[in-house]
Chain A
């Protein structure tokens, strides 16, 4: 069996998420498609603390009722929002896949360091109290370990082995996308190894995802310093507007997502429902500047190309691209350029004469961030979940707030979804998900529609 053999197909058999659109996948996706007033109310001025004096003080919140419910359910063991979001997503995904209390082959999660309490740092400099400093920051692996411990609390033997298979990727905005990519790669490698040895691949599955609780002084300060946040404080609902001419930065969001990856054979043998197939991934580094992405999107374009090469899929086969689309001036422009480099160079080799024809043939593009904000380390997985739902339901969410396309982006003649979701006459087979991290780390994932063809 070669490494590129299709005998090692990997599918998605479970999903869980909590995000500004809700805590259930189906209702969150419906809110995303419908642009309901209820979820739009979740973007507002930050009320948990008095952040009114920060240059940007708006954010997409997880609904307070949902947080209260989660606190009532998990509070005895888990105390931070990061923990709560992840725990809820993990439990939902495990129940969804019918794999609760069973041992995964690997767990990869994207996460960043927890809350830095500047007040505690301040106290340390004033008083020299070491204790106040040590509690000002939490290492991500520490908090995630507690969450997993809680989930498998009824199965301690499994936990002792499980805890050794967790790892945390801290790659900012691409964290959970990289986690999915490497969980997929690791699972694929093990399938090949077992098949070569004639061993069963049953019960071979992985957990991948990420979590973020970004509405706190740490993240707000960091991104304010970089000037990356939207300052449309007086009109929060219109602040996040990817690819729009009047965009001025992103709006922070919060939440978590988990997907269950499983060998196709294992999923079929246990009669699991299959949401979609993951067929490839690609990564590339800009190696350009610490603070700025490559202006022509060359690293991003290479990540997309590497992904298509890894999946052995041609650009013309891609039907939908879920953009990183942050609503910052730089990201949206470079991402558009990157997409144009990959997908239009392909078109140029064809004998297209009419721009309109070319445009119709190029993949549809949209970003979810006008409805959920930027979930940093969790953005990749939460948006991937919605991409998988798009493949399943054949519906693509709108680019809400995209009223006038950026003039430079417009010249690229790409096929952006408009202000209304597309809910009919679609035939999406392949969907690409992009995530581009601060510092120049670019990742793309490729999903394929599942026909539930287990035989």
Chain B
């Protein structure tokens, strides 16, 4: 994929010192109770990225509203998420009211009557990955293309790829692209336990979200964002064959590979991992004395779905 017209003009993350209750820092407090923690994390990181790219004002105006500096129809949203937005808590009324008191067992008939009647209909919002995407789209009035990939860390790579395709096709002017994962949950814990990941001494379960703002270099110049470039995207590929597609296409670039392996880096951010890694590398290069560093993020995701991203940092 030829992506060298695309720049990263902002980023935001939510991956450290995360409070148990995120409601106080959410922009869209109204929806906070009905959506998952994954959606909360995504909303906060997306908000920060939009502010960083100067696409949304950091403070509310006199009418208590945020000023949006973009046309909602020209903003696309692309995300990767983990296996499922995974809280089981909302299902508790459903299953507890399914108890047959006579023999203390699960009763499908009671489940379908008592259980369903006593359950909040919005339980569904916790089990469809697409609703994390809906929450972010509604929170920031995003009306362009929206797509979500459900394949652990590789989901974020696929999201990046799709965002770039839409930008190159002029389907959107801005792409809010990122990943969010809520791994400290019943689902996350039991999944990793069964996969034996806790046997890796360096594996630490975590949670977080990261977002980038991508746009065409031409557009960034036009809106005078030039001095705020974070990096230029050189190549992106859904394959870890580093000597193959990405590297061949940029054989003249000075590539500095920095490997990203989720379960040996000490933290497991799942679908948020690649984006958080990109942000980390941009920050590292910001503090470096060298100019125009090129770096590569490789992603190894469970089930063999992998990716690599090459970026050039500009100072």
Contact = CB atoms under 8 A, between A and B. Distances in A.
A133 interface: yes
A164 B240 contact: yes
B158 interface: yes
A139 B305 contact: no
Contacts of B304: 145, 160, 163-164, 166
Nearest to B92: A125
B128 A172 contact: yes
Contact of B165 (A111, A163, A182, A224): A182
A53 B111 CA distance: 9
A26 interface: no
Given A122-B95, A139-B84, A178-B147, A290 B31 contact: yes
B283 interface: no
Nearest to B186: A133
A122 B146 CA distance: 35
A421 interface: no
Interface in B10-56: 31, 34-35
Contacts of A54: 112, 116
A113 B83 contact: yes
A438 interface: yes
A119 B119 CA distance: 16
B141 interface: yes
Contacts of B186: 124, 133
Interface stretch (B132-140, B204-212, B255-263): B132-140
A290 B141 contact: no
B219 interface: no
Chain A, interface SS category: helix
B250 interface: no
Of B113, B149, B155, B302, chain A has the most CB atoms within 10 Å of the CB of B149
A222 B165 contact: no
B293 interface: no
Q: Which 8 A-B pairs have the closest CB atoms?
A: A439-B134, A139-B83, A163-B304, A134-B190, A170-B150, A170-B129, A283-B145, A53-B112
27 contacts: A3-B169, A50-B108, A53-B112, A54-B112, A113-B150, A122-B99, A123-B106, A125-B92, A125-B95, A130-B189, A130-B190, A134-B193, A142-B83, A142-B303, A164-B304, A165-B238, A166-B305, A185-B165, A189-B2, A196-B2, A221-B94, A222-B127, A226-B121, A284-B144, A284-B145, A437-B130, A438-B131
Interface of A: 3, 49-51, 53-55, 106, 111-113, 116, 118-119, 121-125, 130-131, 133-134, 137, 139-142, 145, 160-161, 163-172, 175, 178, 182, 185-186, 189-190, 192-193, 196, 217-218, 221-227, 282-291, 299, 302, 306, 310, 437-441
